[in-house]
């Protein structure tokens, strides 16, 4: 896997013939590999609940860690890092494969690395909106013989499950799979564009924090922080001031995300996201929603709650779906329409669990068409900004697309009233 010109990790195929000789496919979008339902049925046969939106599961929750410092160092409620640390403390795992910040001279701001202690797990906390690959870290941890947890977005976890079907060592050593609820994957250019708008050019970035909590603000009103190479202090800006900030606009989004139907990590032992629900969103320290699929994680949560290490509230499948309504809408009706467009144009697309359809309103069809344009234009516009040496072209065009999408949304709401 190598980073392409648009800042997205992509495969470099040196021997196409070797692909044809494989006993199956490992790509999460391959029609030759099991889909999410097949994986979940095999992995979690005792999970009593099944929901078409969130998959097979044992229980669903909202909550946060009780330790204020631990919670403050996390993007949301800190439950992700707590589960990993607890699994290590209890001896279920000896390592965690997850994304860490790295010095920019290594060829990127973030990479998958192996944590072998709770302290290293905490250093790897926080969400990174940045395209990375786990290939090297996974090779290293399997070679080490360590029992480990893998953290990733849904398609990464599914890819690892596909590999495990062919690799007995990986299957035996990967004791825990932790998925992050995913809106879509961003290219490295997303972080570059934000930093540039904050006054730091792409080649001057030393570190970034995509989810800086802003005291006293609604949980959705988080900030972006960037540290330039030539100074010790950070620059912190509210995300609301940044062009290309809107998650539903598809700015600098991977094309593969247009074909994803798994929002809540259906092949993972537990999937965690933000509690975008009214009763939690005003807490500026953040709250997680999480879907538990394995008995191991459910027991850890129960024990942690009993001793006061975590504070949790039970949720229903409807609550979870409501907290991720925008992402689910894009991966259900939006995906159905994108598949229908491809079929109408005679364009190949992966086989999905969603049936192609154009049975939606004119406003929704227009919105999904515009998002496809925005995805392509965001990459082209950032390339132009880099050639001209100024972020202005990107900022002006992306803000215009943002306003256009808001106008369409407002018009749709007005018509419904």
pLDDT number for residue 315: 97
Task: Determine what percent of the chain is predicted with pLDDT higher than 70.
Answer: 99
- Note the pLDDT of residue 367: 95
Q: Nearest to residue 74, comparing CAs of 141, 151, 189? A: 151
Rounded Cα distance between 358 and 381, Å, is 30
State how far the Cα of 128 lies from the Cα of 210, in Å rounded to an integer: 7
Q: Which helix (H) or strand (E) holds 209?
A: strand 205-212
Is it the case that residue 20 has pLDDT exceeding 80?
no
From residue 47, give the alpha-carbon distance in Å to each of 41, 44, 143, 177. 9, 5, 32, 16
Q: What is the largest CA-CA distance in the chain?
A: 60
pLDDT at 17: 80
- Residue closest to 28 by CA, chosen among 372, 269, 301, 350: 350
pLDDT tens-place string over residues 96-117: 999 999 877 777 899 999 999 9
Q: Provide the pLDDT confidence category of residue 284 given band limits of 50, 70 and 90.
A: confident
Q: For residue 241, give the 3-state DSSP assignment.
A: helix
Report phi then psi at 272, rounded to 5: -130, 140
Mean per-residue pLDDT, 156-166: 95
Write the pLDDT tens digit of every residue in 315-326: 999 999 999 999
> What does the pLDDT read at residue 42?
97
217 exposure class (CB count in 10 Å sphere: 0-12, 13-18, 19+): middle
The radius of gyration of the chain's CA atoms, rounded to the nearest angstrom, is 21
Confidence band for 210, pLDDT divided at 50, 70 and 90? very high
User: By percentage, how much of the chain surpasses pLDDT 90?
Assistant: 78
User: So what's the pLDDT on residue 336?
Assistant: 98
Q: How high does pLDDT run on average in the chain?
A: 93
Which pair of tokens denotes residue 33? 């590999």
**Confidence check: pLDDT of 18 > 90:** no
pLDDT average, residue stretch 393-411: 95
* Measured distance CA(103)–CA(127) in Å, rounded: 17
State residue 217's pLDDT score. 77
Mean pLDDT of 314-337: 96
Whole-Å CA distances, 211 to 222, 368, 401 = 6, 27, 23
Are 112 and 131 in contact by the 8 Å Cβ rule? The answer is no
Residue 23 confidence (pLDDT): 58
Between CA 83 and CA 62 the distance in angstroms is 14
Counting Cβ atoms within 10 Å, is residue 273 exposed (0-12), middle (13-18) or buried (19+)? Answer: buried
Task: Specify the residue for token string 């010109």.
Answer: 5
pLDDT average, residue stretch 226-235 = 91
Nearest alpha carbon to residue 368 among 356, 381, 379: 356
Query: Per-residue pLDDT averaged across 320-336, rounded?
Result: 96
Phi, psi angles (nearest 5°) of residue 211: -135, 70
What are the strands, taking DSSP E only, across 67-139?
Answer: 95-101, 110-115
* Cβ atoms 93, 148 nearer than 8 A: yes
Range name among 233-247, 363-377, 383-397 with the lowest pLDDT average: 233-247
pLDDT tens-digit profile of 235-283?
Answer: 999 999 999 988 888 999 999 999 999 999 999 999 999 998 999 988 8
φ/ψ of residue 310, rounded to 5: -130, 150
pTM to 2 decimals? 0.94
């Amino acid at each position: 896997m190598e980073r392409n010109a648009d800042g997205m990790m992509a495969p470099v195929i040196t021997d196409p013939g070797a692909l044809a000789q494989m006993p199956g496919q490992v790509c999460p979008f391959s029609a030759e590999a099991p889909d999410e339902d097949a994986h979940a049925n095999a992995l979690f046969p005792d999970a009593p609940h099944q929901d078409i939106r969130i998959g097979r599961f044992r229980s669903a929750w909202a909550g946060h860690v009780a330790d204020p410092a631990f919670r403050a160092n996390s993007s949301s409620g800190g439950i992700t890092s707590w589960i990993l640390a607890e699994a290590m403390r209890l001896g279920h795992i000896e390592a965690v494969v997850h994304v860490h910040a790295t010095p920019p001279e290594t060829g990127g701001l973030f990479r998958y690395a192996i944590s072998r202690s709770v302290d290293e797990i905490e250093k790897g906390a926080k969400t990174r909106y940045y395209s990375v690959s786990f290939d090297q870290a996974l090779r290293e941890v399997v070679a080490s013989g360590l029992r480990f947890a893998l953290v990733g977005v849904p398609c990464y976890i599914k890819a690892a499950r596909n590999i495990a079907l062919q690799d007995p060592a990986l299957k035996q050593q990967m004791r825990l799979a932790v998925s992050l609820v995913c809106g879509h994957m961003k290219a490295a250019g997303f972080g570059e564009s934000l930093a540039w708008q904050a006054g730091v050019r792409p080649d001057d970035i030393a570190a970034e924090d995509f989810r800086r909590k802003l005291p006293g603000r609604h949980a959705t009103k988080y900030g972006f922080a960037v540290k330039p190479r030539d100074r010790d202090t950070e620059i912190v800006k509210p995300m609301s001031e940044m062009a290309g900030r809107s998650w539903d606009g598809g700015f600098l989004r991977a094309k593969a995300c247009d074909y994803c139907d798994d929002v809540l990590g259906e092949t993972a032992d537990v999937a965690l996201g933000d509690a975008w629900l009214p009763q939690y969103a005003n807490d500026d320290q953040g709250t997680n929603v999480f879907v538990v699929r394995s008995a191991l994680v459910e027991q850890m949560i129960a024990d942690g709650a009993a001793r006061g290490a975590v504070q949790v509230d039970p949720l229903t499948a409807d609550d979870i779906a409501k907290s991720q309504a925008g992402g689910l809408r894009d991966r259900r009706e939006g995906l159905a329409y994108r598949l229908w467009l491809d079929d109408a144009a005679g364009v190949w697309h992966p086989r999905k669990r969603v049936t192609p359809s154009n049975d939606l309103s004119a406003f929704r069809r227009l919105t999904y068409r515009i998002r496809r344009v925005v995805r392509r234009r965001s990459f082209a516009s950032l390339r132009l900004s880099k050639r001209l040496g100024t972020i202005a072209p990107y900022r002006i065009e992306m803000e215009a697309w943002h306003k256009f999408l808001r106008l369409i949304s407002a018009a749709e709401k007005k018509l419904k009233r």
